[in-house]
Amino acid sequence: METVLLVLAGWWWVAPAAAGAGAATYAGLTAKSRRARRLELDAARHEEAEAYRALMHARALVRTVRAEHLAVRARTGMLSSETLEAKRRLQLAKRAHKSAVLELRATRARVRAAAEQYSISSRTDPLPLQKVLAAHDAVTAQWLPYEVDAAKALEYPAMTDARHPATLAFLRAQREAQRLRPSTDERVSPQRFIEYRTAVRVLEAAFAEAERRHGEGVSRTGARRP
């Protein structure tokens, strides 16, 4: 009994240390999970910040171009070609400013939507990155039969022929999405998430357009499209 007590006395620190290590590990996993679940919201906030910077730039440009327009008008007159050109540049700058205002409003709406989605999400819901990866994989799964199914490849040969503009656009989008696809152990920043998500959306649209064009060609002619 005395031996047991001596052993326990010598190893009294093991349980607290193990508990502390377990707590640290759990805290790390929880933080990682929270970051992953918040990625959509962080991306929306990143887009909002970028849109705000773009608006500030557009506003400064309007002021600069307006000053140039007034200077040219004072120097050459209201109807001179230089004044008319300066006025055209001012109108373009104003349009760009208006677009920047609308884009900032749109990004703020996306932030609100992402915040609401984050607040109601649960641990069982797919993570934002998982959703984008699944969308990417879905396009790949739809595309593969055109490559490996002999019957489908014969029926729709244009879907694998890069000489067709729609197919070429899809293949380029496919390559770009694959280039931006993060690895499983990679910590994805909001900017990287936005770039990958955009690439996957472009890929989805390009694939749908390729299928529409080539599918229409087959149904319209009633024969295989060369």
pLDDT in tens, 75-100: 998 889 999 999 999 999 999 999 99
Residue 17 tokens read as 């240390």
Cβ-proximal residues to 102 (8 Å cutoff; 6+ apart), any chain? none
> Tens digits of per-residue pLDDT, 32-64?
678 889 999 999 999 999 999 999 999 999 999
> Tens digits of per-residue pLDDT, 96-114?
999 999 999 999 999 999 9
**CB neighbour burial string for 124-149, b if at least 16 within 10 angstroms, e if fewer:** eeebbbeebbebbeebeeebeebeee
What is the predicted pLDDT for the residue at 184?
Answer: 75
Which one-letter amino acid corresponds to residue 25? Answer: T
What is the predicted pLDDT for the residue at 216?
Answer: 52
pTM, to two decimals: 0.74
User: Distance between CA 133 and CA 69 in Å, rounded?
Assistant: 50
What is the predicted pLDDT for the residue at 29?
Answer: 38
